[in-house]
Amino acid sequence: MRRPDFSRRVAVTGLGIVSPIGNDIPTAWSNLVEGRSGLREITYWDPAVTDCHAAGEVRDFDATQWMDFKAVRRTDKNVVFGVAAAKQAWADAGIELSPGDGDDVGVVFGSGVGGPGLMADAMETMKTKPRSVSPFFIANMLPDTASGQIAIELGARGPNMCVVTACSTGTHNIGEAAEGIRRGDFTTVVCGSTETPLYEVGYVGFSNMRGMGTPREGRPLTDISRPYDRSRNGFVLGEGAGALILEDLELAKKRGARIYAEVVGFGSAADAWDLIQPIEKGDGVRRAIEMALERHGVPRDEIDLINPHGTSTPLGDLRESQAFWSVFGSRTKEVAVTGTKSVTGHLMGAAGAVEGIFSVLSVHHQIAPATLNYEEPDPEIDLDVVHGASREMRIRYALSDNIGLGGHNGAVIFKRYMGD
């Protein structure tokens, strides 16, 4: 165990993804940059009972490519997604562990809900055949099942935890993982999040909450998610997982690892206001961003890109934009904003991990992906929303922030790695 050193630099060396726009990094990134939407009419059940008929479903996913067939059968899909993303990231980082060498490898990997599908199946079985309820379902439906299974699959024997903060889960897991490296808890960590919220009762619940959107008249379902557009009226649910490998920068350099970016800031703050509505002026996310900037001295005038929560809800987008104006002042219009939920939908607990990955790739490739469906600026928001086509630009630092039900706010900052 190493001593804390909060000046220690943290590198991103591996990425993995399962998403509505692709189940590997090259495919997902290409579809994002080219503006190919992952939103379609939901196929898992008949959506006629709701106004929103779309979802960001994961397609063409072979679970047995990533886990043993028997293990797949007894666990929830969110766990398999998480394992798949983690194994991709691990391979991408090029790390090889000998048996017993995993003591310095941690896992900080969350889920907002865990395995609701597995719970629903068990409840149906309970109604008619109580003794047929699987003895495996409890261990396989918890929010931390994915983090435990990832450790088993990779042999990661260091600290293992699952941070749960609703829709900001992914962001908090990335941030806590980076701080764990600085604390000396581990030298390498698999972090991220996974979510499979496309079960009927949850979908209908969000619809009845009036959080989900509908397309403009005469438009396809791909039009529903339109962050910051004046006509925005709600989000689209999606599913998926994202995983990042973080390492002590010096150790990553020593082994010749490819370094995508550095994690240089993390902040967290609570609204303490309402379980659903964000606090006035977005004060909670403002404080999270301020903390991310100040914790390790990130110059706010060098933030060039924001990948925001940007759910496409009228109040949520407005209050988040107010937070940006509070933080960046007159420079706010100089910061590009890329709303990637317009392409993937809202992946709930997995959103922060997937959007963190997109932020890392933006910094690495110096490209800001376009926000789909942004046509009419909202004068109350007044941001530089990247739209029409993805933008090649200088990106020194990228900020990714998320806001979760319960008033949970998280922000992480990634820096372009230029070598030393």
The residues annotated with a catalytic role in the active site are 167, 309, 346
Can you state the angle between helices 77-93 and 145-154, rounded to 10 degrees? 40
Sort residue 69 into left (φ over 0), alpha (ψ -120 to 50) or beta. Answer: alpha
Among candidate residues 183, 191, 172, the one with its CA nearest the CA of residue 107: 191
- Write down the residue that tokens 């309820």 correspond to: 133
- CA–CA gap between residue 334 and residue 352 (Å, rounded): 23
- CA–CA gap between residue 397 and residue 394 (Å, rounded): 9
Q: What are phi and psi of 17, to 5 degrees?
A: -150, 145
Take residue 358 and report the two structure tokens written for it.
């997109």
SS3 370: coil
- CA–CA gap between residue 399 and residue 381 (Å, rounded): 18
Q: Rg for the chain (alpha carbons), in Å? A: 20
Take residue 262 and report the two structure tokens written for it.
């550095």
Take residue 271 and report the two structure tokens written for it.
């609204």
User: Which residues of 118-239 form beta strands (DSSP E)?
Assistant: 160-161, 188-195
User: Which residues of 212-272 form beta strands (DSSP E)?
Assistant: 240-248, 261-270
By DSSP bridging, strand 160-161 and strand 303-307 are unpaired
Within 10 angstroms of residue 299's Cβ, the number of other Cβ atoms is 9
Take residue 285 and report the two structure tokens written for it.
């996310």
- CA–CA gap between residue 399 and residue 77 (Å, rounded): 30
